[in-house]
């Protein structure tokens, strides 16, 4: 190849210009490297610091929003006198009971609808219709049916949990690969064997996605239900605090809700990591 | 494989296909297919694409219920599909012994896995296997049942050329050991001659050619009998070697 004169007058000889690709050229090194975790934590710290400064200087009155320090102190007192722990336990129990009823219910309904034609006709159509009901709007009816006790709160949670779990599980069953069923036939798996070895494992990812949604919905509904009418639980604690302008207690309640939600999400994520190790994307 | 046609004739019949037809809508993919298979016989089923090779194989596997005509096959038969069809959530050994009963199932599974040179991979997830390894798992799953009829639906079609050569050798070894009757669906004429005792060609919904493979082993592509049979099969499949420029040197073509 001969030499060419480029537009800017530079001489170019023997083929195209070459560049070196290496780690350095692709991701230029920063001079100071702060670990990601610390950097993210610093953001949170900054926010809480600003909040504390606003409270201490009186810009933010305690009646509007208690400062982080006051919230921490109140939280600690509530733990020590047992109020918070017992309220937490009551709330957690409601969510767990709701899930314990809703999860098997949704699973059985999804299997019925997904695996049998009669089930599909009888179960899926009404489920697809009912899922557009705003669950929280059922509250007045639920109170008429179950009163204002635990049964009302739990049944509201059951309603809320069942739909996302049903939809996700049913969709996963519908998306089963027919070639896997063919395989099951050629290796002589019976109906139960096919369900156990092919259907259930294949549906598990969809089911767990549904479970995560369900857990989130369960907490959401609990917060709502406990603030309408309750005589115990975290929501009750917060409503009572509202009457006495105890914003610190309200913030403690919010924090506990958030932590419990985070915890249940972590539990499902853990299950996913353990049970879905086979997935190509993991 | 070294099967004497004379003795093959004496062995019991394991497959009897008589007047089989299969229509999709109005199109008859299979019109009137009839053939027999003796125990331990290795048959390659050739045909241009769309001639119903896979349809016929699925019928033999019992996966097609809308077939017309008479089909007799052994109760114990296995299928290897073109894709390995492993269950992504089942570890290798669990996949191999899928549907198998008995206390010694896992032991047998381990044995067959080592025969396909996969010992040590028992607890692997399918996602970690290469294409060749996955297809060997699939082959192990088929053989662990010690089938009387092994159905192979273009099992090497998706593999690279080098892996395919190794798989051919492995299949020959294993067939000599397990002695199933084999139906190999393929579109590769060389593969058919290399492996089979007999070649069937499917065309216009019928068996249009049924020839024994009388090529002495080792079956090299340079061998005259190999080349002659190859020309005959290609002609039957509607490919004119001379016109297509395939005739010059099979070796050269193979190397390039």
* Domain spans of chain A, in order of start: 74-275
From chain B, pick out residues whose CB is under 8 angstroms from the CB of A187. 78, 98-100, 141, 145
- Asked if the model's pLDDT at residue B80 lies above 90, the reply is yes
Q: Classify B69 in phi/psi space as left (phi over 0), alpha (psi -120 to 50) or beta.
A: left
Let me know if residue B255 belongs to a domain. Answer: no
d(CA A163, CA A179): 29
In a domain, B184, yes or no: yes
CA distance A183 to A72: 59
User: CA B139 to CA B96: how far, in whole Å?
Assistant: 9
How many angstroms separate the CA atoms of B68 and A27, rounded? Answer: 65
Counting the structural domains of chain B, the total is 1
Question: Top-level CATH class of A74-275?
Answer: mainly alpha
What is the reported pLDDT for B218? 84
Separation in Å, CA A76 to CA A84, A165, A237: 9, 36, 15
Is residue B102 included in any domain, yes or no? yes
Residue of chain B whose alpha carbon sits nearest to that of A201:
B89
**Measured between alpha carbons, how far is B215 from B209 in angstroms, rounded to an integer?**
17
Residue B249 in domain: no
What pLDDT score does B253 carry? 45
The answer to whether residue B99 sits within a structural domain is: yes
Residue A179: Cβ-neighbour burial (10 angstroms; 0-12, 13-18, 19+): exposed
Check which CATH number belongs to the domain holding B18 and give it.
Answer: 3.40.50.300
- What gap in Å lies between CA A102 and CA A146, rounded to an integer? 17
- The predicted-structure confidence for A51-61, as pLDDT tens digits, reads as follows 999 999 999 99
**In this complex, do A280 and B141 lie within 8 Å of one another by their Cβ atoms?**
no
Q: What value does the mean pLDDT of chain B take?
A: 89
Neighbours of B161 (CB within 10 A): 8
Give the C-alpha separation, A227 to A58, whole Å: 30
Buried b (16+ CB within 10 A) or exposed e, A181-212: ebbbbbbbbeeeebeebbbebbbbbbbbbbbb
Per cent of chain A over pLDDT 90 is 71
| pLDDT at position B33 | 94
Could you tell me the pLDDT band of residue B254, with boundaries at 50, 70 and 90?
very low
Please say whether the beta carbons of B183 and B60 come within 8 A: yes
Q: For the residues A97-120, what does the mean pLDDT come to?
A: 95
ipTM summary value: 0.84
Give the closest-approach CA distance of B212 to chain A in angstroms. Answer: 29
Best of B74, B87, B93 to substitute, by most chain A Cβ atoms within 10 angstroms, is B87
pLDDT band at residue B50 using 50, 70 and 90 as cut-offs: confident
Distance CA B167, CA A247 (A): 73
Residue B172, pLDDT > 90, answer yes
In terms of pLDDT, which residue wins out, A117 or B3? A117
Query: Three-class SS of residue A144?
Result: helix
| Cross-strand partners of B17 | B35, B71
Instruction: Please indicate whether, in this complex, the C-beta atoms of A278 and B61 are within 8 angstroms of each other.
Output: no
The predicted model gives B233-252 an average pLDDT of 68
Q: What mean pLDDT comes out for the span B188-207?
A: 93
pLDDT value for B252:
44
Q: What is the pLDDT of residues A217-241, one digit of tens each?
A: 999 999 998 988 788 999 999 999 9
**Residue B256: band (very low, low, confident or very high) from pLDDT cuts 50, 70, 90:** very low
Residue A15 vs residue B243, higher pLDDT: A15
Q: What percent of chain A has pLDDT over 70?
A: 93
Among A189, A201, A280, select the one facing B99 at the smallest CB separation. A189
CB-defined contacts A:B, below 8 A: 53
pLDDT of A96 reads: 95
What is the structure's pLDDT at B8? 64
Q: In the predicted model, what is the mean pLDDT of residues A208-217?
A: 94
Residue B42 lies in a domain: yes
Q: B154 lies in which domain range?
A: 5-213
């Amino acid at each position: 190849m001969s030499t060419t004169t480029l537009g800017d007058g530079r001489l170019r000889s023997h083929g195209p210009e070459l560049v070196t690709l290496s780690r350095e050229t692709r991701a230029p090194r920063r001079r100071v490297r702060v670990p990601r975790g610390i950097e993210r934590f610093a953001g949170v710290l900054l926010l809480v610091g600003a909040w504390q400064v606003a409270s201490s200087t009186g810009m933010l009155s305690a009646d509007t929003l208690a400062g982080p320090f006051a919230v921490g102190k109140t939280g600690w007192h509530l733990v020590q006198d047992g109020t918070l722990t017992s309220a937490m336990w009551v709330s957690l129990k409601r969510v767990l009971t709701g899930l314990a009823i809703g999860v098997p219910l949704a699973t059985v309904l999804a299997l019925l609808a997904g695996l049998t034609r009669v089930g599909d006709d009888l179960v899926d159509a009404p489920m697809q219709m009912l899922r557009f009901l705003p669950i929280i709007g059922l509250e007045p009816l639920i109170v008429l049916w179950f009163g204002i006790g635990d049964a009302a709160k739990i049944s509201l949670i059951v309603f809320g949990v069942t739909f996302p779990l049903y939809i996700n599980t049913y969709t996963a069953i519908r998306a089963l690969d027919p070639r896997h069923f063919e395989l099951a036939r050629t290796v002589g798996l019976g109906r139960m064997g096919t369900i156990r070895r092919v259907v259930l494992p294949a549906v598990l990812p969809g089911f767990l996605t549904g479970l995560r949604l369900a857990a989130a919905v369960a907490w959401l509904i609990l917060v709502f239900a406990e603030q309408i009418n309750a005589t115990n639980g975290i929501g009750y604690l917060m409503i009572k605090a509202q009457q006495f302008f105890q914003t610190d207690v309200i913030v403690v309640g919010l924090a506990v809700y958030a932590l419990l939600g985070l915890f249940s999400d972590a539990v499902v994520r853990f299950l996913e990591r353990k049970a879905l190790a086979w997935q190509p994307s993991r | 494989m070294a099967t004497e046609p004379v003795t093959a004739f004496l062995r019991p019949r394991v497959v009897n296909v008589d007047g089989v037809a299969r229509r999709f809508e109005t199109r008859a993919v299979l019109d009137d297919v009839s053939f027999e298979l003796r125990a331990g016989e290795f048959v390659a089923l050739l045909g241009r694409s769309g001639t119903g090779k896979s349809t016929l194989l699925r019928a033999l596997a019992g996966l097609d219920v809308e077939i017309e005509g008479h089909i007799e096959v052994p109760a114990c038969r296995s299928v290897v599909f073109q894709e390995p069809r492993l269950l992504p959530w089942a570890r290798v050994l669990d996949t191999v012994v899928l549907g198998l009963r008995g206390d010694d199932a896992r032991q047998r599974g381990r044995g067959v896995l080592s025969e396909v040179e996969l010992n040590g991979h028992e607890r692997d997830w399918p996602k970690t296997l290469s294409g060749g390894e996955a297809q060997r798992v699939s082959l192990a799953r088929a053989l662990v049942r010690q089938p009387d009829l092994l159905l192979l639906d273009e099992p090497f079609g998706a593999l690279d050329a080098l892996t395919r050569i190794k798989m051919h050798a492995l299949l020959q070894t294993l067939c000599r050991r397990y002695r199933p009757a084999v139906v190999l669906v393929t579109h590769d004429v060389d593969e058919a001659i290399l492996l089979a005792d007999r070649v069937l060609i499917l065309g216009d919904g019928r068996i249009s050619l049924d020839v024994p493979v009388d090529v002495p082993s080792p079956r090299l592509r340079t061998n005259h009998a190999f080349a002659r049979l190859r020309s005959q099969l290609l002609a039957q499949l509607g490919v004119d070697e001379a016109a297509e420029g395939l005739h010059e040197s099979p070796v050269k073509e193979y190397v390039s």
